[in-house]
Structure 1
Amino acid sequence: MPSVVLEGDPVPATGELPAEALRSLGTRPFGFYVHVPFCVTRCGYCDFNTYTAAELGPGASRAGYAATAIEEIRLARRVLGDADMPVSTVFFGGGTPTLLPAADLVSVLRAVDTEFGLAPDAEVTTEANPESVTPTALAELRAGGFTRVSFGMQSAAPHVLAVLDRRHTPGRPAAAVHEARAAGFEHISLDLIYGTPGETAGDWRDSLTAAVEAAPDHISAYSLIVEDGTRLAARIRRGELPMPDDDLAADRYTAADTLLSAAGYDWYEVSNWATSEASRCRHNLLYWTGGDWWGVGPGAHSHIDGVRWWNVKHPTPYAARLAAGTSPGQAREHLTPADRHLERLMLELRLSSGYPLSDIPPPSRPAAARALATGLLDPAPFTKGRAVLTLKGRLLADAVIRDLT
């Protein structure tokens, strides 16, 4: 999770949730996010809650992390009571989850199954750096119940990888995809980043082509964001690198949509393309469509029916709290009906399924008509009562959302 300090109400030591948040448990999709906060090195653009071995300090280690995460899963069961809520998705993110032994990741997944039960068709994803996996580890993960793997490719251009401080060689992501396929993974994603200082249009086209040729069934493409406090931000501030350009980023996005669409990948969320509905990331769709989830790990966020909370950020106090039998929650907030409406609009409008026109507040409906007239909303779904962004609208999604609130 991004390194943002949020204020909120205290979380009870027991982790107890308000009774009204528990009444509807099991009526919405339920998932687990497991944050694994370890990296070999910190990439220059990253401000996620991750730690190298040198940054961990005493009281936390990779070796004991799985056992600590399992304690939070048991806490989740106590807090949520005996409601029947089979887990439809589990997502291991980071950091680099695959720095842990495959057996550790499988043990955490088994704990989720033991405490809550995995749905028969549960999607279980792990993120991985291409250099952090081996054929043996991938086979162990697949045999242990993982169904999907997402590799951080970022770019196929060596000089772009160097600016991003990525350690893998350009050909390694494709090799990792083939190894995952051989291990039995049907669903594989590659993540790309565009707009890196020094990246040319040709570099980006080559990266897209390399990703498509590797034949994953899902590709994500994200615009580089320069976060304060990162090494990349410092380099830009010193004038070593230029600031990414918004117009150039729009060109890169358009190129991505054109090339990926031609290769059989359909957009289903502004930054995500898949070869079929079955290839879409169901865990992210759970976030985007208002499901419930429990976030395990330092800094992880959770949401149950309008109550959102987040854990302490550093692995040491996180582990200490669980060892003491108390919640690792740092703070929480109760979303108001207005908050929930705004978040739903912000998230669902980014999806290819769009947002119901009938749920747009009456004062904002003229803005929807203007967005249609200016080519930001698709006419065909509009006539059926849905606001769906066009390609132009996706480039201006934030502005469209502001106008419709």
Structure 2
Amino acid sequence: MSADEIRGATRGTAPVPLSVLDLVTVGAGSTATDALRTSVDIAKATEARGFHRYWVAEHHSMPGVASSSPAVILAHLAAHTDRIRLGSGGVMLPNHAPLVIAEQFGTLEALAPGRVDLGLGRAPGTDGATAAALRRSDTLNEGADDFPEQLSELIRFLDDDFPEGHPYGRIHAIPGPVQGTTPGGVQSPHRPPVWLLGSSGFSARLAGLLGLPFAFAHHFSAQNTVPALDLYRQTFRPSAVLDRPYALIGVSALATDEEAEARRQVRAAALNMLRLRMGRPSLFPDPAEVDHYEFSPMEEEFVSSWTANVIHGTPDEVRSGLDGLQKRTGADELMLTSHAHRGALRLRSYELIADAYGLPTA
């Protein structure tokens, strides 16, 4: 696969393809059902406007994030879309057996042929106690330390190419390639491409050495973005998957019709993150609550730091911020995640950004 083939087809004046990262945000006063309906609405709207991908992130034990089961959500989105690529941003590999992931994403590929991405991370996507419950193990560091081995095993399941004599040589991920080599079988032309996700240099280096596309979490690790992308490009080795580096960055961006509303929503998002960091995760707060919240000096410092990394404001301001970020990082694709208390505001944000770039309407 070449970088040109992996590149999206976003039109208009966007400098690079635009995509969506969805955490299925649940605001105070709403339900997970409301949030999932919003996800369908956003997926359909962004597909119509030429966005390239729609990824869902795995998180656990967070009341304001209803994306604990990416494969289930992606199957639902596949039933409501036709062209946009669907994927995980990402599945946290240490939380799952590689065979389970291979079969889940083989099933998704069968449901939406040729448009499924498998993005993988090595963090738990939650706190330590929840990670232990997910893995039924107290050795939490083992999963991260074994990530390269787990990744290799997963790719072999996806390709059905364990070497002869391997303990798993007679085990096949289904749906998968073995169905095409079985008498009477027809080989599927597609296999979900693997992406590595990261917020530091570990996955950047590994993605480069393996010649895989790389997605960096700029939205919560902005200070590491340029060093990680530099490391990825420096260590990149062409592979059967990719002939040159391809780097996507996740960006927190919110456009609103009025600049003041964007500021209110972003401060609410900052309070939400503050509560998470303090071990008190909550539903996404109503900005009216934040208007009356008395931040301590330390909390206000956190809020200021957090909001500084969110590109927000009017559509033109957001476009300018995204263009500047792309130029500074050289990212090949921007994956936008919009956080707001109400689903309608999240949907509106993507529509406004599409308008700012002159993306086509349906």
TM-score interval (norm. to shorter): 0.3 to 0.5
Higher relative contact order (CA 8 A, sep 6+): 2
* More strand by percentage: 1
Larger radius of gyration: 1
